């Protein structure tokens, strides 16, 4: 079942539709907003597009570090990678949606 969530962040607003529960989408949005605030704090960047791109990059960096840890654990325990691959698939889908949204945002300017 598709759910919609309204994003109001970095001076822009739009609605996305996803096949996730509304509570989950709200949790992800809250985490993203916290990541954006952290990016602004540590970088001093104020341009919304630059903040969004840098936040995406930092989240991908964090994801890859976690994935590497999972791969190392998988090599020693044999079984965690199936979960890691599912997480990777979800992140790739979310990244594609983020890129699509950023493209729409940049086309509007």
Chain segment 14-35, per-residue pLDDT in tens: 898 999 899 998 999 999 999 9
The answer, as to whether pTM is greater than 0.75, is no
Measure the CA–CA gap between 81 and 72, rounded to whole angstroms. 10
DSSP3 helix / strand / coil % (the chain, rounded to 5): 75, 15, 15
pLDDT of residue 81: 54
Average pLDDT (74-91) is: 70
């Amino acid at each position: 079942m598709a759910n919609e969530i309204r994003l109001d962040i970095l001076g822009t607003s739009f609605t996305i539709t996803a096949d996730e529960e509304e509570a989950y989408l709200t949790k992800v949005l809250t985490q993203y907003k916290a990541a954006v605030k952290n990016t602004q704090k540590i970088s001093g960047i104020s341009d919304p597009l630059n903040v969004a791109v840098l936040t995406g990059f930092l989240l991908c960096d964090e994801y890859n570090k976690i994935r590497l840890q999972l791969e190392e654990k998988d090599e020693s325990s044999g079984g965690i990678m199936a979960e890691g691959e599912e997480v990777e698939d979800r992140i790739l889908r979310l990244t594609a949606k983020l890129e699509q949204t950023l493209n729409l945002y940049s086309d509007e300017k």
